[in-house]
Amino acid sequence: MDVKDSNGNLLAEGDAVTITKDLKVKGMAQALKRGTVVKNIRLTNSATEIEGRAGGSLLVIKTEFVKKA
């Protein structure tokens, strides 16, 4: 299963990605800002989602909102 970012680049376990737009996250006081780097990502069972730590929380992020750093 190939997991691709918003630009079509392949993503792998441990990659770093940058968020491409401000994202409001339920349960967090602030939104994740554009340009935030999420390091050491993990792939999930879905080709459209990744897991990573951002803002002190473990989040599942849709790949359409990230680009490879």
User: What's the pTM?
Assistant: 0.88
The pLDDT tens digits of the residues spanning 15-51 come to 999 999 999 988 888 899 999 999 999 999 999 999 9
For residue 16, what pLDDT is reported?
96
Residue 2 CB coordination number (10 Å): 7
Residue 16 CB coordination number (10 Å): 14
Written as six digits, the tokens of 52 are 């990573």
Domains defined along the chain, listed by start: 17-68 (2.30.30.40)
What contacts 39, CB < 8 A, 6 or more positions away? Answer: 16, 52, 53
